[in-house]
Chains A and B, each alone.
Chain A
């Protein structure tokens, strides 16, 4: 669906997206990284369970909520990738950390 114009970025970090290690350019938002990774939907809604993906990419629509490093309800378009970060789809209400 989407691709990077530059296949050889200068600096990269390795993150885990839905359990898969992926090398992504440093400085990318999590939303950009997951969109480029082609995983399709990034959450299911708590109301009907329907699939959703990032929509506005500027922090307005709250459609890109994901579980990042174990924390639910993170706006993927506002978070930036970091070495070792785990990124997971959020299903429904996500998880409650204990």
Chain B
């Protein structure tokens, strides 16, 4: 690895891959850093190594990744798998660990393409072994061919639940129940966006087809579910929930939940990029212009890390950000950039037509985000409950950073990735600052843990 590149791209999912290929095509020296051992990101995970049979179970959308990845393999891009970025600042210095060795490199332009993560949503029992994210279930399936053995309950709200159910169905997995926590009145909320969504109707058609197929197979979705609770001693034994005023209990060893995805902003936060609260997507997203420029010169963001748009939009945004980097580096002029980007901009606009509808349809109700039960753990690392957070607010700590100092919420190894937004929601609902005003946990690098030995190996020339 060199210590400087014209363009460094973080993340080898659809946005990063498309950007890297586009930039390299125009002769730029590009380094593509990725924490996984193989390219594809979470969406196309294991795309190069997956057996054909399993790949076909995952559907055509997944297989699309193999083309993207093969272009990377044929290119001159310096690709670094197994590479963790632990620091980024406004001087465009990147701290990383590659094959257990720490390094500090710089770039003229940096593109963050680090994707999304599942929205953490605490409910009673969500820390029990046997409760996992639906995305985790899908990763086990994609990357390792591991599926539920004795049946599974899927619960939550969002398109991934449906997709995973469909994929499990084809793999012969027994689905005990699909619990839909989407409130029924979201239909009304989403209705005004339907005409625009029909412009990208293939997404809706696909969803309907999945639904129909599941129904035909006898797998019913229970709607209007609330008060989801997981129970068990050392391991999940059963779940309970309420439907239409009636309480139900279901025995299961495995519960996969999903409440949508949110941008993974740890690095853009670390760099100090400005972020806004997006009330439609119900998450923070970095401020970006139409080419992916963040509020910091030289830092671009593309893909779900800049706001949820899905894999196709990520590809377009990645190519556009690469053009912008080329333009900033004076490899192409503005007219060339605009001309070369025309198609991607058009396709991206079309692809995004479905989003407002999906965001309204799968809008997570405030009651869930506020974690009504005082005993529910919010910070998984430090085991801080919703009640303790409300107590801190009652004692005069009115923003998430004060609550963090007071309760240690967000001070564990995950660095608040799991609790930050939840804490903000609870504070806002308890009479503290609103989410937009109260702000987010301040970044405390390293973004991923770094050993003392790795840090000690840096800057050997520095003396007391």
Contacts and interface: CB of A to CB of B under 8 A. Distances in A.
A82 to B, nearest CB: 12
Contacts of A3: 146-149
Nearest to B234: A51
Interface of A: 1-6, 25, 27-29, 32, 35-36, 40-42, 45, 47-48, 50-63, 65, 73, 78, 80
A73 B117 CA distance: 21
Interface string B108-123: 0000000001101000
A53 B383 contact: no
A46 B325 CA distance: 45
A45 B377 CA distance: 13
Contacts of A32: 140, 143-144, 146
If over half of A's interface residues share one DSSP class (helix, strand or loop), that class is named, otherwise mixed; here it is: loop
B291 to A, nearest CB: 28
B182 interface: no
Nearest to B264: A60
B66 interface: no
Given A3-B147, A5-B171, A58-B135, A40 B414 contact: no
Given A2-B149, A4-B144, A60-B417, A55 B117 contact: no
B148 A2 contact: yes
Interface in B347-398: 380-383
If over half of B's interface residues share one DSSP class (helix, strand or loop), that class is named, otherwise mixed; here it is: loop
B149 to A, nearest CB: 4
B105 to A, nearest CB: 21
25 contacts: A3-B148, A5-B171, A29-B144, A32-B140, A36-B144, A36-B146, A40-B235, A42-B129, A50-B127, A51-B129, A51-B234, A52-B127, A55-B131, A55-B132, A55-B136, A55-B380, A56-B117, A56-B133, A56-B135, A57-B136, A57-B139, A59-B448, A60-B418, A63-B414, A65-B413
A61 B413 CA distance: 8
Interface string B4-34: 0000000000000000000000000000000
Given A4-B145, A5-B54, A80-B37, A55 B49 contact: no
Contacts of B49: 27
B317 interface: no
B22 to A, nearest CB: 26
Given A58-B117, A58-B136, A78-B35, A53 B149 contact: no
A48 B383 contact: yes
Nearest to A39: B129
A28 B144 contact: yes
Nearest to A64: B136
B253 interface: yes
Given A32-B143, A62-B413, A2 B136 contact: no
Closest 4 CB pairs of A and B: A53-B129, A3-B149, A57-B136, A62-B414
Contact of A60 (B117, B143, B144): B117
Contacts of B42: 58
B150 A40 contact: no
Given A32-B146, A62-B381, 9 more contacts: A2-B149, A5-B147, A32-B140, A51-B234, A60-B264, A61-B120, A61-B380, A61-B417, A62-B413
A57 B132 contact: yes
Contacts of B150: 1
